[in-house]
Amino acid sequence: MINWGIIGCGNVTEVKSGPAFSKVPGSRLLAVMRRNRVLAEDYAKRHNVPKVYSDAQQLINDKDIDAVYVATPPGSHAEYAIDTLKAGKPVYIEKPMAINYEECEKINEASARYGVPVFVAYYRRALPGFLKVKEMIENVKIGKVLFFQLQLFKPASEDEKAGRLPWRVDPALSGGGHFFDLASHQLDYFDYLFGPVQKVKSMVRNYGGLYKAEDFLTAGLEYPGGITGIGTWSFTVSQDSYRDIIEIIGERGSIKFSTFSFENIVVTTSDGTTEMVNERPEHVQYNLIDKIVRTLEGKGESPSTGITAARTSRVMDEIVSEYYGKI
């Protein structure tokens, strides 16, 4: 049985991840930590978690805890992850892995030094629909992949318009703006499909003026085998302009799907157009957590590690490098 502790039991842990730790066979959520002990106790009561802490180090050093899930904002990921590794315990980190690539490298160096594994919550590497897309590409369903297009356009929130800014648009806490929170999933998935990015060209802007972080980005990406892609992200459009589209173009057809809205996967070839369900599990991190538990038991291998996740942070840093060099 793998006994887990969570550092930072905020919104992401309510449904997406937290309950899965006790639903995966051979796994149990034993303790949670939040600086506000009242909120930690409330979470523990609602989710039937036996132990509560308001100090992260106490949770890490709990002899009954086998592995730790770090679910705080990225600004503190490296600190908590390295402390966990020093204690000889595996760590599962919310994405992005850290505030920047440099901190990711420090985590991976600690992992190698202490001989303890690191996993990162890029769970699309384990979701059925996204695995189906990967399978179709590997089976050359649309022929040799040539290029892809990505568009993620979202409106600013009412809080952002009113000046009540979330931590996700504070670069000191998140690494950048919404791009770091959302595009990290997409860039990691492309890494899973095509391999590490080989070249990046980008333009980054702030059009809305609601915060200092970037709110518009477009990037050209090149992958092994000559596969190229163009991604465009905007976080201040009108609701009518909302888009969540990825389209992969091959020599004999295309695959079109969404990242966050889980629309049906649409495959078009000379044989016609077919649609298949992009299944969203009740707890979207369940499948990846299951693979991590199997890895810790010596019965499998997680598709998302500190090594793979660091590559995504490197690409994001490269995309925004010029923008943050200027502000």
If we measure between CA atoms, which residue out of 155, 147, 182, 177 comes closest to residue 259? 182
| Assigned token pair, 248 | 């992969």
State how far the Cα of 327 lies from the Cα of 325, in Å rounded to an integer. Answer: 6
How many CB atoms sit inside 10 A of residue 118's CB? 26
Where are the domains positioned within the chain? 2-121, 125-284+313-326
Half-sphere exposure of 216 (CA within 13 A, CB side): 9
Evaluate if residue 327 carries a pLDDT over 80. no
Give residue-wise pLDDT tens across range 156-188. Answer: 999 999 999 999 999 999 999 999 999 999 999
How is residue 36 annotated by DSSP? S
For the chain, give the mean pLDDT.
97
Pairing of strands 91-93, 243-250: unpaired
Confidence band for 91, pLDDT divided at 50, 70 and 90: very high
Domain 125-284+313-326, CATH: 3.30.360.10
Contact 219, 319 (CB under 8 A): yes
Domain 2-121, CATH: 3.40.50.720
Give residue-wise pLDDT tens across range 32-78. Answer: 999 999 999 999 999 999 999 999 999 999 999 999 999 999 999 99
Output the pTM of the full model.
Answer: 0.96
If we measure between CA atoms, which residue out of 233, 34, 270 comes closest to residue 142? 270
Evaluate if residue 90 carries a pLDDT over 80. yes
Spacing of C-alpha 224 from chain mean position: 22
Evaluate if residue 201 carries a pLDDT over 80. yes
Contact 296, 90 (CB under 8 A): yes
Confidence band for 325, pLDDT divided at 50, 70 and 90: confident
Average pLDDT over residues 5-12: 95
Give residue-wise pLDDT tens across range 123-136. Answer: 999 999 999 999 99
| Assigned token pair, 66 | 């086998």
State how far the Cα of 126 lies from the Cα of 131, in Å rounded to an integer. Answer: 7
The CA dihedral of 135, 195, 168, 110, to the nearest 10 degrees, is 120
Give residue-wise pLDDT tens across range 218-240. Answer: 999 999 999 999 999 999 999 99
State how far the Cα of 31 lies from the Cα of 120, in Å rounded to an integer. Answer: 19
